[in-house]
Amino acid sequence: MSEKKNLRLSVLDLAPIPQGSTARDAFQTSLALARQAETLGYERYWLAEHHNMTGIASAATSVLIGYLAANTTTLHLGSGGIMLPNHAPLVIAEQFGTLESLYPGRIDLGLGRAPGSDQRTMMALRRHLSSIQADTFPEDVQELINWFDADKDAQPAVQPVPGLGMKIPVWLLGSSLYSAQLAAQLGLPFAFASHFAPDLLFQALHVYREKFQPSARLEKPYAMVCVNVVAADNERDARFLFTSQQQQFINLRRGKPGPLPAPVENMDNLWSPSEQYGVQQALSMSLVGDTDKVRHGLAALVRETQADEIMVNGQIFDTEARLRSFAIAMEAARSL
């Protein structure tokens, strides 16, 4: 009889800044969560790049990865993701080459194609680029891989120092079919952002697996699915905690992103019917409840998607409740 294979569970952290808190508070909470994730046996811990959002503190993603890596021992850390169009590939290669040099074997580079910001912020980030520049994402990804996979004796005219030949794992992230196709073409692992854009999840996974071409980096497809998990000791408490994330999405859709709101007992007076529908659609891949509810949800998700790994996001106002939620998620995963 074959040995039971445990579900691989990972963390996505946006370093949320709750109302009344500071970025420093958010970083300390992220460290507490990272240390707990290491102790509980989470597979990896990723941070996401967002800009001009006063409720998200992970804009300087590589800096925050370094802070968490320096204060943990074995936890695998990475970006979920670096929005590559915002940066010169050489700079990212050097940043992650530096992280890999300091914390060998513990660093992932997850790459996204979206700006991670609004149009005005995007222009502020990309002043070195022409506003009419063509999409160079595939070429930029390939350039990074060529540097990371270079022979130790290679001497390209331009090279990241450190970074050249360091074999840093590269993932492609997406919420559409574009990155699924590119990940398949390049033979890279793929992560789908169904925690906020679930509509194309199954189609993207199908495209990725059908079109996958083995590479020196990856022999067969490896797909990760990201979902929201807000867990508590009972379903009522979990639903209460989840209202913070629901309010955050309303504010984002209204063009007023701000600190993570405190949870409320009732959402009825806070959203219009159309806003309620939109938020519920965007957050439909959310497991909200107690241990049993999360266990059944994870089991169904793995069964339906055949995901190799599940990544868990949870925008929760209270630090202790947030830590408890991620502990319950791992408890649920271990009982599958």
Helix H or strand E segment including 104: none
How is the chain split into domains, by residue range? 223-336
Which among 42, 47, 72, 71 has a CA at the least distance from the CA of 60? Answer: 47
Copy the structure tokens of residue 18: 């709750």
Q: 41 CB contacts (<8 Å, ≥6 apart)?
A: 330
Of the chain, the percentage scoring pLDDT greater than 70 comes to 93
The model's pLDDT over 19-70, given as tens digits with 9 standing for 90+, comes to: 999 999 999 999 999 999 999 999 999 999 999 999 999 999 999 999 999 9
Q: What confidence score (pLDDT) does residue 5 get?
A: 62
Q: 184 CB contacts (<8 Å, ≥6 apart)?
A: 190, 207, 208, 209, 210, 211, 212, 213, 221
Is pTM beyond 0.85? Reply is yes
CA angle 38, 219, 6 (to 5 degrees): 35
Among the residue ranges 67-81, 143-157, 294-308, 315-329, the one predicted with the least confidence is 143-157
Task: For residue 215, give Cα distances in angstroms to 105, 106, 139.
Answer: 20, 22, 17
Q: What confidence score (pLDDT) does residue 135 get?
A: 81
What residues are paired with 309 via a beta bridge? 224
Which among 294, 270, 257, 226 has a CA at the least distance from the CA of 16? Answer: 257
Whether the pLDDT of residue 134 is over 90: the answer is no
Rg (CA), the chain: 19
Q: CA-CA distance, 33 to 183, in Å (whole number)?
A: 30
Other Cβ atoms less than 10 A from the Cβ of 189: the count is 21
What does the pLDDT average to over 133-160? 90
Copy the structure tokens of residue 199: 């509509």
Helix H or strand E segment including 295: helix 291-305
Q: CA-CA distance, 289 to 307, in Å (whole number)?
A: 22
Tell me which DSSP letter residue 168 carries. Answer: -
Copy the structure tokens of residue 315: 């925008």
CB 19 within 8 A of CB 309: no
Q: What confidence score (pLDDT) does residue 131 get?
A: 47
Tracing tokens 């090279």 back to the chain, one arrives at 159
Among the residue ranges 134-143, 199-208, 213-222, 300-309, the one predicted with the least confidence is 134-143
Tell me which DSSP letter residue 133 carries. Answer: P
CB 46 within 8 A of CB 110: yes
- For residue 254, give the 3-state DSSP assignment: coil
Copy the structure tokens of residue 225: 């699915």
- For residue 57, give the 3-state DSSP assignment: coil
The model's pLDDT over 106-126, given as tens digits with 9 standing for 90+, comes to: 999 999 997 655 667 767 766
Determine the residue type at 62.
Answer: S
What does the pLDDT average to over 123-146? 76
φ and ψ at residue 114, rounded to 5 degrees = -75, 160
The model's pLDDT over 166-186, given as tens digits with 9 standing for 90+, comes to: 999 999 999 999 999 999 999
CB 301 within 8 A of CB 221: no
Q: How confident is the model at residue 3 (pLDDT cuts 50, 70, 90)?
A: very low
Other Cβ atoms less than 10 A from the Cβ of 143: the count is 17
Copy the structure tokens of residue 151: 């022979």
